[in-house]
């Protein structure tokens, strides 16, 4: 489901942020929020997805175009054992190639467009995440932006330019996390296209049947989602250290008395 995609994108973004140099709380949150939003973008190939309905006719037109392009690519590249399907949903946008291409395009676009392009990508990611996680995210995001504006170093333009260096990675990571999530479901995900596997160009990667998840069922809503909520909080920079230090203070045995009565 969309909210699980967004939440796993958030967790992946927080885990990846230190590796790309987004070490401060401000940078890690921006990176993770972007990854969370773009973890929903591959479903732009479905007309009913939140990404397709986000900006009305504009994202609707992009969804229509993506479905047509995906269908054409599938028709041209399908192997002898690939399924007889339209190739519109869970095909082109659900591949590593798509994730890498969109990440590179984002890096090039933000480098050329400057701070406003960076701001636009981040806001678009937040809107995508808000559409999946709920309207509560909008005031939280506004509060986070205001917090960043008043507490970050004064040169905000330079801060945005610094973000552009790793924003493409956040976008690509979000799309890839979506593919990995879909690969755990019963339908699987052909994210290794065009690598031929078992005679199929669009081979659906998925675990053994016993480990496959059914979208929206109890395992996802009552187990997977709550686990990632906890992980998503603990991965925020500083939270884990505060949690462990607080637990030590609360549960450590009292110091032995040094004086006798």
Check residue 240 and give its pLDDT.
Answer: 46
Q: How far is CA 130 from the centre of its chain?
A: 12
- Averaging pLDDT over each range in 29-43, 62-76, 162-176, which range is the top one? 62-76
* Paired tokens of 9: 């994108």
Residue 261: inside a domain, yes or no? no
Residue 256: inside a domain, yes or no? no
Check residue 21 and give its pLDDT.
Answer: 82
Check residue 151 and give its pLDDT.
Answer: 65
* Distance separating alpha carbons of residues 165 and 114, to the nearest angstrom: 11
Helix segments in 152-238, DSSP class H: 156-182, 218, 225-234
Check residue 156 and give its pLDDT.
Answer: 59
The answer to whether 190 touches 202, Cβ cutoff 8 Å, is: yes
Residue 259: inside a domain, yes or no? no
Instruction: Say which residue, 189 or 1, is predicted with more confidence.
Output: 189
The answer on pLDDT for 153 being more than 70 is no
The answer to whether 98 touches 197, Cβ cutoff 8 Å, is: no
Q: With bands split at pLDDT 50, 70 and 90, how would you rate the model's confidence at 261? A: very low
* Distance separating alpha carbons of residues 37 and 33, to the nearest angstrom: 6
pTM attached to this predicted model:
0.82
Tell me the mean pLDDT in the region 37-64.
Answer: 93
Q: Rounded mean pLDDT of the chain?
A: 80
Residue 225: inside a domain, yes or no? yes
Residue 81: inside a domain, yes or no? yes
Residue 239: inside a domain, yes or no? yes
Residue 88: inside a domain, yes or no? yes
Distances, alpha carbon 91 to alpha carbons 129, 156, 208, 229, 256, in Å: 22, 39, 21, 29, 64
The residue segments making up the domain with residue 79 are: 2-247
SS3 219: helix
* Distance separating alpha carbons of residues 38 and 125, to the nearest angstrom: 6
* Paired tokens of 1: 């489901």
Residue 33: inside a domain, yes or no? yes
Domains held by the chain: number = 1
* Distance separating alpha carbons of residues 201 and 145, to the nearest angstrom: 44
Residue 162 makes CB contacts below 8 A (sequence gap 6+) with 27
Distances, alpha carbon 234 to alpha carbons 13, 20, 72, 237, 244, in Å: 13, 19, 43, 8, 10
């Amino acid at each position: 489901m969309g909210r699980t995609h967004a939440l796993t994108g958030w967790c992946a973004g927080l885990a990846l942020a230190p590796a790309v140099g987004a070490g401060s709380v401000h940078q890690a949150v921006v990176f993770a929020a972007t990854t969370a939003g773009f973890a929903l973008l591959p479903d732009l190939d479905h007309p009913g997805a939140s990404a397709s309905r986000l900006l009305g006719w504009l994202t609707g037109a992009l969804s229509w175009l993506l479905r047509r392009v995906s269908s054409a690519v599938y028709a041209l590249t399908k192997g002898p054992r690939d399924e007889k399907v339209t190739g519109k949903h869970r095909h082109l946008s659900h591949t590593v190639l798509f994730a890498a291409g969109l990440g590179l395009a984002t890096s090039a676009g933000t480098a050329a467009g400057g701070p406003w392009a960076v701001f636009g990508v981040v806001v678009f990611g937040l809107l995508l995440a808000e559409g999946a996680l709920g309207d509560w995210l909008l005031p939280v995001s506004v509060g986070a932006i205001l917090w960043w504006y008043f507490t970050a170093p004064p040169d905000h333009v330079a801060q945005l330019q610094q973000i552009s260096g790793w924003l493409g990675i956040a976008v690509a990571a979000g799309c890839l996390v979506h593919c990995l999530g879909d690969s755990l479901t019963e339908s699987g995900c052909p994210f290794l296209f065009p690598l031929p596997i078992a005679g199929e160009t669009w081979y659906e990667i998925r675990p053994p049947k016993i480990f496959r998840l059914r979208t929206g069922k109890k395992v996802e809503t009552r187990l997977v989602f709550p686990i990632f909520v906890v992980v998503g909080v603990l991965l925020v920079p500083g939270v884990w250290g505060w949690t462990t230090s607080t637990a030590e203070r609360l549960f450590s045995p009292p110091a032995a008395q040094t004086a006798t009565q």
